[in-house]
Structures are given as C-alpha cells and as structure tokens.
Amino acid sequence: MRSRVSESILGRVIGGTGMLLETTGWLDESFERVSVISRDQLKVRGLVENHKSDFTFYEINYRDTEKLTNILKQILTRAPIDYVIAWIHSGKAPEALPTVLNEVEQNQHRSFRLFHVKGSAHAIKKETVLVPANCLYREVILGFQYDGTNSRWLTHSEISKGVIAAIQEDAESTTIGVLSPWEKRPS
C-alpha cells in the first residue's frame, strides 16, 4: 500500500546512490512520488527503468548551487516535499544542504522532515544544522560494527536498512552501528 507522502528526495554528493540504493528502492516501493538528485544515473538505472512510483531522477553535481536550486524549484512545482533524505558531504559541497533547506522553506509552507545522514566523524564534532521553522530535523549517524575484538565499517545494506528504520521510527537521532569505543573504529 502506498503512503500518502507526496514527494521525497534522496540526496547525496559522493557515494550516496551506491550506499543508499536499497533506501531508494524502498522509497520507490513505499511512496507515491520519489525524486532522486544524484551525480550518477548509472547507479540507479534499474530503479529509473523499473520504477513503481512517480519516479524522477535528476543528474547533477551538488557543487553547482545554481543547478541544484533550479532542480529543487522544478520538484516543488510538482508537489510539496514531505521528506528529504540527504547524504551530503558538507566539506565537498558546503552550500548544498543550506540550498536545499532554503528552497524548501521559500517555496512551501507545510512542514517536512529532513533525515540528515552523517558520517561518524561529523557526529563526534556535533555540527549544528540551521533548519527553517517548517523543518523537523532528524539526524542519522553512521557508525561501525564492533564485536569486542574486531571492527569494520557498515555495509551498504546495513546503512540502507538503518536509514529505512530511521524514517519509519521518526526518531530525532538514530545511530546505525556503534560509535564507541571510538579508538576501536576501523582505520
């Protein structure tokens, strides 16, 4: 059964469609409309060709703020946004997330949820994201797996399943894997 969610964005700069491909598939199965903004259509080709929802793919580099702004305006003319799932490396595209938040704030009045996927190092820094009044901020922190002896980074499947669970649970903060002991994280 399809959700009544009207529009979703899965965003990323580098590695997001690979790492979050299962999440994108789940969104396509679960929601009426899904828009994906990414640098690499090849990574989501199967979804683009075999989509279940009203699926739209926009291929751009997030560093191009003007193109990102124009695409967001296109998306917002189709339907309001209810969810933004963003895996954006702030160091590589520092204006991308503020651009997304500004465009949604300026072009729709209803509230939306931002699921901000962050690497463990960014979570340790406790970065603050300034969100507009109509945004419900949800932090999704990517940790690592540790069995008491060995550690490893999360697999793409573990990350996607964790992001899906975060969306379903709608908690203010979700950690996938563990963040401690920090000194035992994989190198």
Ordered DSSP codes for the chain: ---S---EEEEESSSHHHHTHHHHHHHHHH-SEEEEEES-GGGGHHHHHH-SSEEEEEE--TT-HHHHHHHHHHHHHHS---EEEEE--TTT-TTHHHHHHHHHHHH--S-EEEEEEEEHHHHHHT------TTEEEEEEEE-EEE-SS-EEEPPHHHHHHHHHHHHHHT-SEEEESB--SGGGS--
The fraction of the chain above a pLDDT of 90, given in percent, is 38
**Per-residue pLDDT at 17:** 63
Between 42 and 159, the higher pLDDT residue: 159
pTM: 0.86
Domains along the sequence of the chain with CATH:
8-184 (3.40.50.720)
